[in-house]
Amino acid sequence: MNIDISIVILCYKAEKGVPQFARDVIKSISEITSSWEVILVGNYDKDSDDITPLIIREMGQNNSQIKAVTLVKKGMMGWDARSGFRECNGNTIALVDGDGQMSSEDIKRVYLKLIDEELDIVKTFRIVRGDGLIRKINSEIYNVIFRILFPGFNVRDVNSKPKIFTRELYDKLALRSDDWFLDAEIMIKARRYKCKLGEIPTVFTEAKGRQSFVKAKHIIEFIRNLFIARWQEFFVKE
């Protein structure tokens, strides 16, 4: 199966917002290729009343280019993303959150940059953030720490999505994170493999209808994991 792009959309508790965002993504990517697939990841907590799995299963039944992944959760964002990646058949793989905080057009933009400039990985960086001053400050601190610990790889915004990478790079990454550290793991390993990186600006809007799932304890966890990952770099032999 030869598919230009697989798009993994993380839909945890996005519920009724998923169909419109997915339609927007499909409309945008269809302007440049008909060879695409969308993987909707609607994993759910056991005994949850989240209706997202029902919504995305129906979407998958109505369109052969849409796959629904609906598993009982055994981890956080990283686990969800990896469960979606396993269903991908594309020559390129994109990852985006399905809450509508990022423009559906960003998928097309990162894909075109990846292809046109023959890069290994392309991502966005947020020039406007609608999620509040505290989140912005926390993000700035996190990104500064990342650049200090992992110099020589000019990443403006580690956690920003969408991210898109080639199938060849994905196979090398051997991603393991089950938690919120997945974005950083991708960037750390891309640096390790001396990947050709591209970034484009984006506008990050306020989440509507739900609060962020990233809490203060997760920020501390991010930073702790960065130091652990840097220590582990000394023992990596490539």
**In the prediction, which pLDDT does 209 show?**
58
Q: What pLDDT is recorded for position 216?
A: 56
Q: Is residue 49 part of a domain?
A: yes
pTM of the model: 0.91
**What stretches of 137-196 adopt beta strand conformation (E)?**
163-166
CA dist 230 and 236 (Å) reads: 10
Q: Tell me the backbone φ, ψ of residue 70, rounded to 5 degrees.
A: -135, 90
Nearest in space to 136 (alpha carbons), one of 77, 219, 229, 228:
219
The CA-based angle 72-60-19, given to 5 degrees, is 90
Cis omega before residue 53 (within 30°)?
Answer: no
The dihedral built from the CA positions of residue 213, 224, 163 and 152, taken in this order, carries a sign that is positive
- Contact (Cβ atoms closer than 8 angstroms) between residue 110 and residue 165: no
pLDDT attached to residue 214: 56
- For residue 156, being part of any structural domain is answered with yes
Tell whether 152 is covered by a domain: yes
CA distance 42 to 53: 5
Q: Which domain holds residue 190?
A: 3-233
The CATH number that applies at residue 190 is 3.90.550.10
Counting the structural domains of the chain, the total is 1
Q: Which of 182, 25, 198 has the alpha carbon at shortest distance from 125?
A: 198
The H or E element spanning position 125 is strand 121-129
Round to the nearest angstrom and report the end-to-end CA distance of the chain.
31
Q: Does 92 reside within a domain?
A: yes
pLDDT in tens, 59-111: 999 999 999 999 999 999 999 999 999 999 999 999 999 988 889 999 999 99
- Has residue 220 been placed in a domain? yes
Q: Per the domain annotation, does 141 fall within a domain? A: yes
Residue 238 within a domain: no
Residues 81, 99: Cα–Cα separation, whole Å: 14
Please give the chain's pLDDT, 238 residues, in tens.
689 999 999 999 999 999 999 999 999 999 999 999 999 999 999 989 999 999 999 999 999 999 999 999 999 999 999 999 999 999 999 999 998 888 999 999 999 999 999 999 999 999 988 777 777 888 888 899 999 999 999 899 999 999 999 999 999 999 999 998 999 999 999 999 999 999 999 998 866 655 555 555 667 777 888 888 888 887 765 5
